[in-house]
Amino acid sequence: MEQNDFKSGYIAIAGPPNAGKSTLLNFILGEKISITSKKPQTTRNRILGILHKKTFQFIFVDTPGVHCTKKEFNTRLVDEAMSVIGDADIILFIIDIKKRDLSSEQLIIKQLKNNKRPVILGLNKIDLVKKQDILPVISEMSEKFNFDTIIPVSAKTGIGVSDLVIAMESILPKGPPFFPKESITDVSERFIVAEIIREKVFRLTGQEIPYSTAVTIDSFNRKNKDLVVIFANIYIERNSQKGIIIGNKGEKLKNIGQEARKDIEVMLSTKVYLKLFVRVQKNWSSDTKAMKRFGY
C-alpha cells in the first residue's frame, strides 16, 4: 500500500459518565488500558489507546464523563474532557441507550455545535434494550445534531463495533502513523497499575468510597524477569473510610490486593508482589495542591 493512502488521526471518546466509553476502548484495542466500573467518574485522566492496522492508525483519547457539576474536582474532569473534544480529528460521542443522562448529553451537544470536527454517535448497551426502542433514539438524536453517522453498539458483546471502526476509518484524515507499532498507549506501566488498584477499590467497596479514592505508587521494582515488586498507597479523605477499605481483619484490603494483582500480572506478563497501604489525606478532592500531587 502507498504511504500516501495511509490514514491516521486522533479520536476523542466523549460522553456522559458511565456510558461505557472505557469498555468500548478496551474492546476495540483488545487490551485493558482504561479501567471500568459501574460507578460514574471511574475515568479521571486523559488516556491514549492506539490501534494499529495495515491501512490506518487510530489514536483514541478516552476522557472523563461530561456532566453538570459545581464541585471543584469534577469540574476539572469535565474541563479535561471538553479540551480533548476540541483537539480531535474525529469525535466519538457515546451514550447509554438503556439509562439516558439527558442533561449531560445536552451539555456535550452544546459543545459539539461549536466544533467543526466529524462526529459519530454510538448508541451503547443495545444488548440491554429491545430493537424497537433503538429507532426512536436515533430519530431524536438526529434532530438534535447533524451526526456523520449513528451506530448502535454493545461494548460488552461487540455488536456493531466493527461497523463503528469502518465508519471511523472512512472519515479519518490521510497521514503517516504517529506512533510505532509496538505502542498501545502513552501512559506508563506505573500509571496503569495505580488505575487497576483504584478500579478494584471501586468494584469492591460501597458507594461512599470511590469518589474519595486516589492511588499512588511508592515503588515499582523489577527484581528479575520473573518478579515485579510494587508498593502502593490508597488515599481516602476521612478516617471513617479507612476501616471500610481495610475491612474485618483486613479481608477487604486483601481482596482488593488479590484482584488487582491478577490484572497487573496479565498486563506485565510476570509474577507480581503487591503491597497496599491505606492512608488518610483529609478532603484531598477539594485541595488544589493535593489534586495536583495525585495527578488531577
Range name among 10-19, 40-49, 79-88, 127-136 with the lowest pLDDT average:
40-49
Q: Is the pLDDT of residue 45 over 90?
A: no
Mean pLDDT of the chain: 85
* Cell numbers linked to 263: 490484572
3-171 with 189-293: one CATH topology? no
The average pLDDT across 112-140 equals 93
Q: Is the pLDDT of residue 79 over 70?
A: no
- Neighbouring C-beta atoms of residue 252, cutoff 10 Å: 19
Q: Is the pLDDT of residue 67 over 50?
A: no
The average pLDDT across 52-67 equals 81
278 vs 18, residue with greater confidence: 278
| Start-end of H helices in 188-238 | 189-204
Q: Is the pLDDT of residue 287 over 60?
A: yes
Where would I find the beta strands (DSSP E) of the chain?
Answer: 7-14, 47-52, 56-62, 90-96, 119-124, 149-152, 214-224, 227-236, 271-280
Q: What is the pLDDT of residue 1?
A: 45
In angstroms, the CA 207 to CA 39 distance is 8
Burial 139-162 (b: 16+ CB within 10 A, else e): eebeeebebebbbbbbbeeeebbe
Q: Is the pLDDT of residue 122 over 50?
A: yes
In angstroms, the CA 148 to CA 22 distance is 22
Domain ranges (residues) in the chain: 3-171, 189-293
Give residue 69's pLDDT band: very low, low, confident or very high (50, 70, 90).
Answer: very low
The average pLDDT across 34-51 equals 63
What's domain 3-171's architecture?
Answer: 3-Layer(aba) Sandwich (3.40)
Q: What is the pLDDT of residue 241?
A: 86
265 vs 290, residue with greater confidence: 265
Q: pLDDT for 137-150, tens place per residue?
A: 999 999 999 999 99
Give, for 81, the enclosing helix (H) or strand (E): helix 72-87
What's domain 189-293's architecture?
Answer: 2-Layer Sandwich (3.30)
Q: What is the pLDDT of residue 84?
A: 63
Q: pLDDT for 235-271, tens place per residue?
A: 988 888 888 889 999 999 999 999 999 999 988 989 9
The average pLDDT across 111-135 equals 92
Give residue 167's pLDDT band: very low, low, confident or very high (50, 70, 90).
Answer: very high
Q: Is the pLDDT of residue 83 over 70?
A: no
* Cell numbers linked to 205: 467497596
